[in-house]
Amino acid sequence: MGDIVLKVLGTAQDGGYPQPGCDCPNCQKALNNNASKRFPASLGVLDIENKKSYIIDTTPYLPEQLNILNKTAQKYNFPKDHLEGVLITHAHMGHYPGLMYFGKEAINSKKLSVHTSKSLKKFLITNQPWKQLVDNGNIQINIFDFEKTISLSTDLKVIPIEIPHRQEFSDTSAFVIKGRHKSAFYLPDIDSWVEFNNKFNEISEKTDFLILDGTFYSKEELMKFRGRKVEDVPHPTIKDTFRKFENGFLKRNNSKVYFTHFNHTNPVLRTAFKNKIAKKEVNFLDEGKLFNL
């Protein structure tokens, strides 16, 4: 006992997969195959001993993702009101709008604890409809400081890490999630490794599972299928990130990588391609996967 379980609730980029209105080959295939559909990136966190759960990032698909979390919680005999809080990485469309379901038109929660950075709180309390959730007492925003541990229970600690990412409405966080036995680093969005290399190396040394931004496989795919430049939506490509893992990096740190946050253009969404490039310590996250910490 005392375990923490992570349940993967979504693995797509903010727009989901298939992406609305897209006729790219990946999306066309997914439209006709329910099993290959993916929700925007989100993570359920279950504190087994205390029978409480948390969601990292509330996407526009929160109703479906909450159902998945509920089913997992039932397996561990959690009570019906197990959802104790939400943690939000940043204010882009795949990561926070699901908060609206906690309002009076739907769940009507009572002071649900929402953990955010200071800048994200400012965004939420100064813009509708998020402000209304606070004013009506549906949510209560708790500010975290980067690098300062949030102690959710004796078994579960979360450390927010500041991430370089397009700061349109808020800054961006990633989270180190620590159970009693193992830990995971959840980083769905980053612009580039350049400013983050040292911090990443430091975290990797102490973390078992690295769940990382795998938005694009290569720089060419966005232009090929959408006529858009990757410079407009900066992310390190999987190809770039692979380079970090050369020379035994993961073995030395005893950590495993799982890519997530896949854009609809990403060729790793096709099983044959994914299998071709998979490496021993590098994986591509599946919907529904469980991690034990």
Q: What residues make contact with Zn ion under the rule CB under 5 A?
A: 14, 19, 22, 24, 27, 94, 189, 264
Give the C-alpha distances (Å, rounded to integers) separating 15 from 59, 116, 165, 220: 10, 22, 17, 19
Q: Taking the complex as a whole, how short is the minimal distance between the CB of residue 146 and Zn ion, in angstroms?
A: 19
Nearer to Zn ion, 244 or 264 (CB): 264
Q: Taking the complex as a whole, how short is the minimal distance between the CB of residue 127 and Zn ion, in angstroms?
A: 19
Nearer to Zn ion, 158 or 163 (CB): 163
Phi-psi map region of 116: left, alpha, beta (phi>0 left; psi -120 to 50 alpha): beta
In degrees, rounded to 5, the angle at the alpha carbon of residue 55 between the alpha carbons of residues 182 and 17 is 105
Task: Name the phi and psi angles at 107, rounded to 5.
Answer: -70, -30
Nearer to Zn ion, 17 or 245 (CB): 17
Nearer to Zn ion, 82 or 90 (CB): 90
Nearer to Zn ion, 166 or 289 (CB): 166
Give the C-alpha distances (Å, rounded to integers) separating 210 from 8, 185, 207: 13, 5, 7
Q: Taking the complex as a whole, how short is the minimal distance between the CB of residue 205 and Zn ion, in angstroms?
A: 26
Query: CB 226: neighbour CB atoms within 10 A?
Result: 15
Q: Taking the complex as a whole, how short is the minimal distance between the CB of residue 96 and Zn ion, in angstroms?
A: 10
Q: Taking the complex as a whole, how short is the minimal distance between the CB of residue 170 and Zn ion, in angstroms?
A: 12
Residues contacting 70, CB < 8 A, separation 6+ = 82
CA distance 199 to 244: 13
